[in-house]
Amino acid sequence: MDAPAHGSGLRTDRPERSRRALVAGSVGNFIEWYEFGVYGYFATVVAARFFTPEGGSEAEALVRTYASFALAFFFRPVGAALFGRLGDRVGRRPVLILVVVLMTAATTLIGVLPTYATVGALAPWLLTLLRVVQGLSAGGEFGGAVSVMTEFAPPGRRGLYGAWQSFTVALGLLGGAGAAALLATLLTGAQLNSWGWRLPFLLTLPMGLGALWLRLRLDETPSFQAVQAHQALMAPPAREVAKAIVLGAGRVMGWAAAGYTFLVVLPSYLQSSLNATFQQALVATVLANLGFAATILPAGLLSDRIGRRPVMLTGALLVTVLAVPLLNLLQDGGTSSALKGAAVFVAGAIVGLMAGPGPAMLSEMFPTSVRYTGLGLAYALSNAVFSGCAGLIITETIERTGSVDIPAYYAAATCAVSALVLLTLREPRTGAGTEHVREQKKQAEKGS
């Protein structure tokens, strides 16, 4: 299922529809990753507020916090399957409206949750429940957003349009880091730990209302309408879809693992393992995310010209080779602040080489009739294992082994495997989307 660009909906009758789809698809991703960034950046504060009963250690609380983080990711595949199936049956638009409502509600409620000091053991359970809802809605967000962006994309621009999904991930993480940095500057440590941490979560409400308004104005994609108009089109065999999902998950596992290691887990790692201050950790994270954002759109555009595989493969190989040296620069007390800043910027930029072409690559692996489900599951499964568990694996392994190189080993190993799987990727033929629709119609006629 790799070669053709299945039912990609490249031709649109109005350019403004493509731009509207780009904005409506992107805004949900921004909110989703803003929240996940905020949760990651405030992991140590959340640990103290929700996971530290009297007598518990800070390390144990941080591990429990990341366990809740990982649990939300493991509900992503469930959300991808549930909402993806709905999106492939009833349309991309109504499902994207539903998931942004769920995401907004769950995130806003985190901002008003009672803490362990108020309700005891009920506090972590309430937080975990909301994280589960976020995981379900996030699982349904990616597949629908990427389907909308790539199915509305103009000819020869799927890579660039799909890259906007990743770009808004970077913007969301930067937004979360910016909110955290602003609060850390304006508030005292006591105020931040007491009530200030709630403000970034509450800010999701107005953002979510804006996203809902944009999605209510969204049109259904031409590709989905075409499939609905030809009910006789045959769905691909389940075995082929399952194989494509596994391959897709393998191709993006390096992106998932390295992205979360460098962009989200980094603040807590710097504080807990390298004794950095909260402000220093946030500055490093902002620089990493700026590097990430800087390469995403150029990488997506380049993939439209030379193909997805060479761009993503370059990123995976660079992480494999450079992860340990870059981390060693951060660990070296004699390294200047400027060089450390350059190191985290480069780390983020390399991840952007994988994140830029990644959404379009996944979209092109699946026909329209199963695209929402297929690409959503591939991405969600990879993120559940390699992103959601990143903080838990890294924190727990460092605690057990005492090795501060674990984040680099983790990113390098996953990217090495991802590079091997990317070698199996075949590039789509230009304009093959409409060809695939004709092929399916012929199959249906033969079947009848």
Lowest mean pLDDT: which of 44-48, 223-227, 442-446? 442-446
pLDDT of residue 14: 62
| DSSP percent split of the chain into helix, strand, coil, nearest 5 | 80, 0, 20
Distance CA 384, CA 392 (A): 12
Distance CA 35, CA 274 (A): 25
Lowest mean pLDDT: which of 95-99, 129-133, 181-185? 181-185
Contact 31, 200 (CB under 8 A): no
The DSSP 8-state label assigned to residue 2 in this structure reads: -
Domain limits, the chain: 15-447
pLDDT of residue 439: 40
Place of tokens 């940095």: 181
pLDDT of residue 362: 95
The share of the chain scoring above pLDDT 70, in percent, equals 86
Distance CA 142, CA 367 (A): 16
The mean per-residue pLDDT over the stretch 212-224 comes to: 90
Could you tell me the pTM of the whole model? 0.82
Place of tokens 């004699």: 334
The mean per-residue pLDDT over the stretch 192-212 comes to: 91
Instruction: Provide CATH code, domain 15-447.
Output: 1.20.1250.20
pLDDT of residue 54: 56
pLDDT in tens, 292-319: 999 999 999 999 999 999 999 999 999 9
pLDDT of residue 6: 45
Contact 170, 349 (CB under 8 A): no
Residue 289: pLDDT over 70 = yes
The mean per-residue pLDDT over the stretch 353-372 comes to: 94
pLDDT in tens, 398-438: 888 888 889 899 999 999 999 999 999 987 654 433 334 34
The mean per-residue pLDDT over the stretch 321-335 comes to: 88
Contact 404, 275 (CB under 8 A): no
Lowest mean pLDDT: which of 32-36, 258-262, 353-357? 32-36
Distance CA 2, CA 363 (A): 10
